[in-house]
Amino acid sequence: MTDGRRIWLTGASSGIGAHLAQVLLETGARLAVSARNPQPLTALSERYPGQVLVVPGDLTDCAQVREIGMHIAQTWGALDTVILNAGTCEYIDVDHFDAALIERVVRTNLLATSYCIETALPLLRAGSRPHLVGVVSSVTYWALPRAGAYGASKAGLRYLLESLRLDLAHEGMDVTLVSPGFVDTPLTEKNDFPMPMRWSADKAANHIAQRLEKRPLEIAFPTPFIALLRLLSSLPKRMQVALGKRLARNGEQPHP
């Protein structure tokens, strides 16, 4: 990353975001950091004086996101890179299907990200070599049991970003999707099922940071896990369903 590059990173208080923030700051980038909890952001600014702009807020609140954008504009005038990493995950209990759960996840993963994009685009247009980065998920390659809310929100975000890539190309703005597999974060700590080929948040953050400078269309990892999901998604639909059903829970039975 170029020294002094102005970057807005959301979801910077924990997990991949917290580790990515540190990696980017060590390269000399200037970082505007957002999350609901301001304490980790303030601690980061104290460790890297002069490099960190603390802009906390609830990203599901469009008005708060606009205030964050105004604060960045007043302080820096523009952005060069935006990394939209904030997200959440809840799993569906099909025996007690709750539409409110889906609403919560979609609001955080898709709608809040769209509020951030609305705020970020004018700042990126005023910046240098603008780069829009969004964290989606490898779960969008192949439908998994109980992941309907999370997968739907991330699939929607994937389509949104891939569509924006086409619309923004004439402006010279690059769009990169980040598609992680399982990563050790406060969210995945709550998972009650095996997570194959899981990475640490630190390893994931370094992997992302090392590839951002080349502005690829997508950063997907770990490679063997991604290859497996893509292979499964290429199978005939009936085979995909048969395999997926083997992963589904039956009452209180654990995953096979």
Mean pLDDT across 121-143? 96
Mean pLDDT across 210-219? 97
How far apart are the C-alpha atoms of 144 and 220, rounded to whole Å?
Answer: 18
Joined together, the tokens standing for residue 22 give: 């540190």
SS3 140: helix
Residue 150 bridge partners (DSSP): none
Closest CA to 178 of 219, 221, 222, 131: 219
More confident call, 22 vs 247:
22
Instruction: Report the length, in residues, of the chain.
Output: 256
Helix (H) or strand (E) holding 67, with range, is helix 62-75
How far apart are the C-alpha atoms of 153 and 89, rounded to whole Å?
Answer: 10
Give the pLDDT confidence of 138-170 residue by residue, as tens digits: 999 988 898 999 999 999 999 999 999 999 999
192, 145 contact by CB (below 8 A): no
Q: Model confidence at 247, in pLDDT bands (50, 70, 90)? A: confident
Q: Which residues contact 254 (CB under 8 A, 6 or more apart)?
A: 193
What number of CA atoms fall less than 13 Å from residue 151's CA on the CB side? 13
Greatest Cα-to-Cα distance within the chain, rounded to the nearest angstrom: 56
Joined together, the tokens standing for residue 195 give: 């997570």
- Residue 250, pLDDT score: 61
pLDDT(256) > 60? no
How far apart are the C-alpha atoms of 21 and 84, rounded to whole Å?
Answer: 12
pLDDT(219) > 60? yes
- Residue 254, pLDDT score: 41
**Which CATH number fits the domain 6-247, given the four candidates 3.30.360.30, 3.30.499.10, 3.40.50.720, 3.40.640.10?**
3.40.50.720
Q: Can you give the residue ranges of every domain in the chain?
A: 6-247
Strands 81-84 and 131-135: parallel
CB atoms within 10 A of CB 21: 27
Give the pLDDT confidence of 51-102 residue by residue, as tens digits: 999 999 999 999 999 999 999 999 999 999 999 999 999 999 999 999 999 9
